[in-house]
Structure 1
């Protein structure tokens, strides 16, 4: 019941699969690729900005770095648990949400995830556009943003194999470039003074933890997209550790530099706030070296922006096909979706760039409120209730075991969002519990825990999980029930 072609293998030029199941004869690669992809994706300037925010909003550099590390360790564990699902399921991350929310119900968090992708793609385009402009000296950052968008479309359209190739390049380039910046910082500044322990303030320390955790948790909705081609026999532990170490080490390296750069630019931080890209160029020494650093910035941003575009395309397609009931789409569809997604993100970038820093901080923290509950529900169901057993054909069948809507998941999702509101510390709204915590925002932790506590007992009682893993090739009684109404689509996968 599955394709026998080699689309998606190491010899493929352009990926042809989208939201459909990847059969075993097309699986390839090793867990090490997860390390380089996520390490390279985090060795980039937006992660530097994220680390700098912890200092710019009040924390001393040392406590900011420690808080960011704790956040990366905690959030990275959740992110890597999602990554470990890829080889077992052979599916994009958000398709698996149908097992928890139902075919139509999954569209609700999917729409919010698309907004997240757009936001990150737009903020990344702002910084990459500045770097391209510094290289070409056009004097118009918008030109750099458009050129960067075109590069993103190219790689995202080529697909999985080339995204991983870009991750390996970004790892090498990032290590070299960021090591050089670190050496320049050590040689030109008193780093010991920057790291001198100051007054410990719990609210700003919690903010640093939230920035680190939030950064990692935002990868959850698409991390399995990039592990789904691994052989199904790949140990989950290896996939977990490769993704975990890659994302934590890469992000912490970048964020540590960001915290130090921001501390260097204090007391007002104007040197960093006025232009993050130019700040790094000046720190590098200017001239040809600065151009090299700008290329490092573009490479890192291209990697993560491609993830945003590719994940955005997968998420939009998952939403649309819930209603069209298709599991396979034409190759040109990827190009059309990616073009539309990147075009909109570039437009947002051009319009939002003057207030980039403030918007980015609020964006990262606010996004946690809407998809942390999704992450909690997905992981609790997969690891604790379904116990890694999924009826894959039923994910494409509105009359299958998962149905159209899952009221338990949707109810828990709503409770998870509402529970966070009193703990929010945002520009537009500050919850009453935030004042009692000295201004600290722990809404992400509340959402993660409360959602799990509400969802687990209800879902355990009403579970529709199969007794064993059901793949499209299985024709047992359970599989036959699931395949009814969707077998034609599966056969063409």
Structure 2
């Protein structure tokens, strides 16, 4: 095999273009390992610790809210993931079939913010982990090392990311279970089961956090299922993604809860993990560091795809090369490192607040995406139109989707309770954000009514174009 051929197999050639059937590979179970391993990491553990430290729930009520929140949100990420094998294109590119070629740009912008935010948060965590393991390494150098490592994986792309997460599922899953065993094998504090209690605002906030955690992956989840053969269908990718994403996050959130309850009140989350797990603590820190780097590559990969999607919107014939991906990844890396190096000590807390605020724009998009794919078009899209400069049958703007999307955001504002904006009716349940529920209940039926009303006209256009109107 030639060197260039080996490179093509190692480094992914496709970016936002359609993956033809002859190049499809893999099995649905790869989605389980990807999303399970990705969520066994410090960020969900730190977030889980907030259930006790910020929302003041006890073990029982905290665990109940965690499980229900992730099980509900997991339905969205699983339905989005199952679209990948049927479409063969990234999630954000697929949005052109719902919002129109230019109408989808706003969604791409919000997705890029999420990718970059997660990337910065994780390189900050990676830097802290490296500095904690090797104090002689200064924090700035540690952050750069973590960022460069994730960038290398992200540039190589799809195959390598899946391979790492197959290994990570066994390693990280075993390590986390061993961590639970170490905690419960030791004498627990007297208030382990009684610390905290039940409060409605904290319980709803925890539930909402679980829902948005899962929904936050939906703008790019099918990027990692689009290489699967179309023949895998809908059910297998759905269940593989659902169980991988929900089990991984529930375990990590729960580990954060248990760890902070097992140490004196007020201990920082990752310090609590190291203290509560005894001799296993330093080993867990090393494994967490490796996993941060591995799964942070997904955020860089998604950010690159978002930028490519944006550029290609205005240059339909442009197909980026591997060198272009490397350049874009390097630019993003430089910008993120500059932000991370100047980040405040409470950056991660502020970022989690931003993610909750982004719920306002993610819920209407997810509603439209799923209603359109499963109920309106039923998985039948004209791929050629999605890549045409004029948007083909989907046009440059789809007024139905844009109107429903705008309404979905606006109806949430009075009920929003975020770090960026608090609405006049935000305290219907004090301290809890219920805007996502309002957005879901309004956007789904509104878009369905608007889209089905205009479906007859679309079918006529498709027929005149010689396309299958199914």
- TM-score where L is the length of structure 1: 0.88
Pairwise mapping of residues 159-178 of structure 1 onto structure 2 (< 5 A)? Answer: 159-178=157-176
Stretches of 4+ aligned residues off by more than 4 angstroms: 7-11, 464-467
User: Does 2:237 correspond to 1:239?
Assistant: yes
Pairwise mapping of residues 28-427 of structure 1 onto structure 2 (< 5 A)? Answer: 28-57=25-54, 58-190=56-188, 193-196=191-194, 199-265=197-263, 267=265, 269=266, 271-272=267-268, 276-285=269-278, 289-326=280-317, 328-399=319-390, 400-427=392-419
**Alignment CA distance shift 1:295-1:8 (3 Å):** farther
**Alignment CA distance shift 1:12-1:250 (3 Å):** same
Quote the offset at 1:303 in angstroms. 2.9
Q: 1:8–1:161: 8 Å Cα contact kept in structure 2?
A: no
- Where does structure 2 lack aligned partners over 5 or more consecutive residues? none
Residue 345 of structure 2 aligns to a residue whose secondary structure is helix
Quote the offset at 1:266 in angstroms. 5.8
| Alpha-carbon displacement from aligned partner over 1:201-224 (angstroms, at most 9, x marks no partner) | 111110110111111010000000
Quote the offset at 1:127 in angstroms. 1.1
**Alignment CA distance shift 1:385-1:281 (3 Å):** same
The aligned residue for residue 491 of structure 1 is none
C-alpha separation in 1, matches of 2:70 and 2:5: 32
Quote the offset at 1:312 in angstroms. 1.0
User: Does 2:423 correspond to 1:434?
Assistant: no
Q: 1:185–1:191: 8 Å Cα contact kept in structure 2?
A: no
Residue 346 of structure 2 aligns to a residue whose secondary structure is helix
Q: 1:19–1:327: 8 Å Cα contact kept in structure 2?
A: no
Quote the offset at 1:290 in angstroms. 4.2
**Alignment CA distance shift 1:192-1:278 (3 Å):** closer
**Alignment CA distance shift 1:151-1:457 (3 Å):** same
The aligned residue for residue 485 of structure 1 is none
- Where does structure 1 lack aligned partners over 5 or more consecutive residues? 1-6, 471-475, 482-493
Q: 1:33–1:164: 8 Å Cα contact kept in structure 2?
A: yes
The aligned residue for residue 452 of structure 1 is 444
**Aligned partner (choices 449, 460, 477) of residue 466 of structure 2:** 477
- TM-score where L is the length of structure 2: 0.92
| Alpha-carbon displacement from aligned partner over 1:124-166 (angstroms, at most 9, x marks no partner) | 1111111112233235222111111111111111111000011
Q: 2:161–2:297: 8 Å Cα contact kept in structure 1?
A: yes
C-alpha separation in 2, matches of 1:91 and 1:192: 53
**Alignment CA distance shift 1:164-1:394 (3 Å):** same
